[in-house]
Chains A and B, each alone.
Chain A
Amino acid sequence: MTCVSGARLRAHLDTPDHAIDGHLAQCAACAQRLAGVRGAARFAARSIADLDAGAGGAVDVDAALARVAPATGAGPASRRLRIPTAIAAGVMVLALVAALVVTPTGRQAAASFLSSFRSERIQVVTFDPRDPQAAFGALSDIVEVDAAELDAGQQREVDDLAAAGAISGFDASPVSWLPDGAMLEGVQASAPSTVRLTFGRERAPELPAALDGARLVVSVPGTVASMYDVDGAMLVVAESAQLRVDAEGADLGQIREYLLSRPEVPTDLARQLLAIDDWTTTLPIPVPVDEVVWQDTTVAGRPGLMLQDTMGSGLLWHDGERIRAIGAEGLDVDALRRVADGVG
């Protein structure tokens, strides 16, 4: 009998192959190889078994099923930006939330009856989500929100980029390069919408008289997000039009001073917002410290941000006309950059 292959020796460990017993008894070389194979197999077995000690316990299957299929109680739910929320498209949403909640606090436009903000660039501001002072949501309590069009701004599944364009109000940019094996999984789009925030003393008694009745009109842009599957991992390419905020009936400088003095805005965040040079064109991106690693970078020739968290990495940049974001699980940044270079 000729010497035994490594694969057969390995299989012999799991299912004894008596046909090779005789050869192993006579061939020192094969016996030695078997010992090596056995040693490596035992080492791997011990190492991988030990992973159980630090892994999870019992799971609640019904609760998990309810989470992924809340509407039908059984059917597969739309992925609805579950992972993208934490990375690329989530950054987009973050930007919009920032604009709705934080941006007005950082705008020092000229003192005029009608002042406006138009996003042209981005800049990170950081905050500690564990800071009890960071209760941005409570800011909405001091204004009356007219969000009749907000439903139109909800993301929805569409068939293709053409359909997305009909909803978002702009033609989504094609992507000229994608990693090997990337398959389009779905396209989501949202329509432009307008949110009006009106300040009044009935909600905030300490409001300065000059701000009573003042209004911020936030034009939330449409968005398009294309989701790809890359060998089991998610890649998202998203974009939105520019975001615009108009102030009516008051001086934005006064609005800003008032909002930055509110206890809901952490002191350090207020300081960072005050330090932004060009209030009228810079969109602040709030990033929770310790949860997201970020750094300034150049993306597709434009100033942008690289963000990484435990779920993936993303690039966010503003090319003058569009806010763009690309994010992925597990894809290296060089690959993300290559995708970014091919957008538009």
Chain B
Amino acid sequence: MDATGATGAAVTNDRFADVFRRRYAELVRLAARVTGDAMEAEDVAQEALTRLSTHQVLDRPDDEIAAWLRRITINASFNRLRSRSRSTDRMQRSAAAERPLRDADRTGPQLAQVVRAEERALVRAALAQLPERQRTCLLLRHSGYRYTEIAAAVGIATGSVGVLLTRGEQAFRRHYEEMQ
């Protein structure tokens, strides 16, 4: 590679490392909320960040990169959740017959932990049923993001965030209650 190419590659590498360091922990937190699995969340975040190069996003402004990464991370997290759900359905069905006995064996704090884990699974399942833009809005808003950041991640006008939030929150509650 000639000197110009080498310099270009070094700049790209520096830029990538910079974005990685600033965004990684945030993306892991977002992914962990969806997947509930710290290791899987790290996998998702690393995947999202490595896609920066193949999608030629690195040369965009910081806020655009951040918005792109959040959207990719949330989508990839829900994709994993959906795949996991499908692959475990069969095993869960076969285990269902044993569940009453196992539940009967649980007591006190152990049972409370199980119940909370099941509630979280229900929340994730209800979120997964929402249209992509609604669930992204909900997850980002209730993770503390501003309307402008949400709008950038979803690709809508800031004024439309409220519309999607309203619809999404009502649909989320409905799905949750239906699945209970």
B107 in the interface (beta carbon within 8 A): no
Q: Which of B24, B50, B76 contacts A233 (CB 8 A)?
A: B76
Judging by beta carbons under 8 Å apart, are B17 and A40 in contact?
no
Chain B min CB distance to A228 (Å) = 11
Judging by beta carbons under 8 Å apart, are B169 and A40 in contact?
yes
**CA distance in complex: A329, B117 (Å):** 24
Judging by beta carbons under 8 Å apart, are B36 and A330 in contact?
no
| B165 surroundings in chain A (CB, below 8 A) | 7, 10, 41
| B169 surroundings in chain A (CB, below 8 A) | 10, 37, 40-41, 43-44
A162 in the interface (beta carbon within 8 A): no
Judging by beta carbons under 8 Å apart, are B142 and A329 in contact?
no
Beyond A9-B166, A61-B24, is A76–B49 a contact (Cβ under 8 Å)?
yes
A65 in the interface (beta carbon within 8 A): yes
Chain A min CB distance to B174 (Å) = 9
B106 in the interface (beta carbon within 8 A): no
| A185 surroundings in chain B (CB, below 8 A) | 54
**CA distance in complex: A311, B170 (Å):** 30
| A292 surroundings in chain B (CB, below 8 A) | 87
Judging by beta carbons under 8 Å apart, are A74 and B17 in contact?
yes
Interface stretch, picked from B59-67, B97-105, B118-126, is: B118-126
Q: Which of A11, A67, A73 contacts B162 (CB 8 A)?
A: A11
Restricting to B39-86, which residues have a CB under 8 Å from any CB of A?
A: 39-42, 45-55, 58, 71-72, 75-76, 78-80, 82-84, 86
| A11 surroundings in chain B (CB, below 8 A) | 147, 161-162
A208 in the interface (beta carbon within 8 A): no
Restricting to B143-160, which residues have a CB under 8 Å from any CB of A?
A: 143, 147, 159-160
**CA distance in complex: A76, B17 (Å):** 8
Judging by beta carbons under 8 Å apart, are B36 and A72 in contact?
no
**CA distance in complex: A14, B161 (Å):** 12
Restricting to A30-80, which residues have a CB under 8 Å from any CB of B?
A: 36-37, 39-41, 43-45, 47-57, 59, 61-62, 64-65, 67-69, 72-77, 79
**CA distance in complex: A137, B146 (Å):** 52
A233's closest neighbor in chain B, by CB? B79
| B162 surroundings in chain A (CB, below 8 A) | 6-11
Judging by beta carbons under 8 Å apart, are B50 and A6 in contact?
no
Chain B min CB distance to A319 (Å) = 25
Judging by beta carbons under 8 Å apart, are A308 and B87 in contact?
yes
Beyond A50-B120, A329-B80, is A83–B24 a contact (Cβ under 8 Å)?
no
Judging by beta carbons under 8 Å apart, are A74 and B163 in contact?
no
Q: Which of B32, B71, B142 contacts A49 (CB 8 A)?
A: B142
B176's closest neighbor in chain A, by CB? A47
**CA distance in complex: A77, B90 (Å):** 36
Judging by beta carbons under 8 Å apart, are B33 and A52 in contact?
yes
| B14 surroundings in chain A (CB, below 8 A) | 74
A293 in the interface (beta carbon within 8 A): yes
| A37 surroundings in chain B (CB, below 8 A) | 166, 169-170
Judging by beta carbons under 8 Å apart, are A232 and B71 in contact?
yes
| B75 surroundings in chain A (CB, below 8 A) | 231-233
Judging by beta carbons under 8 Å apart, are A65 and B20 in contact?
yes
Known: A7-B165, A69-B17. 6 other contacts (CB 8 A): A6-B163, A40-B173, A51-B36, A54-B120, A69-B16, A185-B54
On A, residues with C-beta under 8 Å from B are 6-11, 14, 36-37, 39-41, 43-45, 47-57, 59, 61-62, 64-65, 67-69, 72-77, 79, 82-83, 185-186, 229, 231-234, 290, 292-293, 308-313, 329-330
> Which 10 A-B pairs have CB atoms at the shortest separation, nearest pair first?
A330-B79, A56-B38, A7-B162, A55-B32, A75-B13, A232-B75, A76-B53, A308-B87, A74-B13, A48-B142
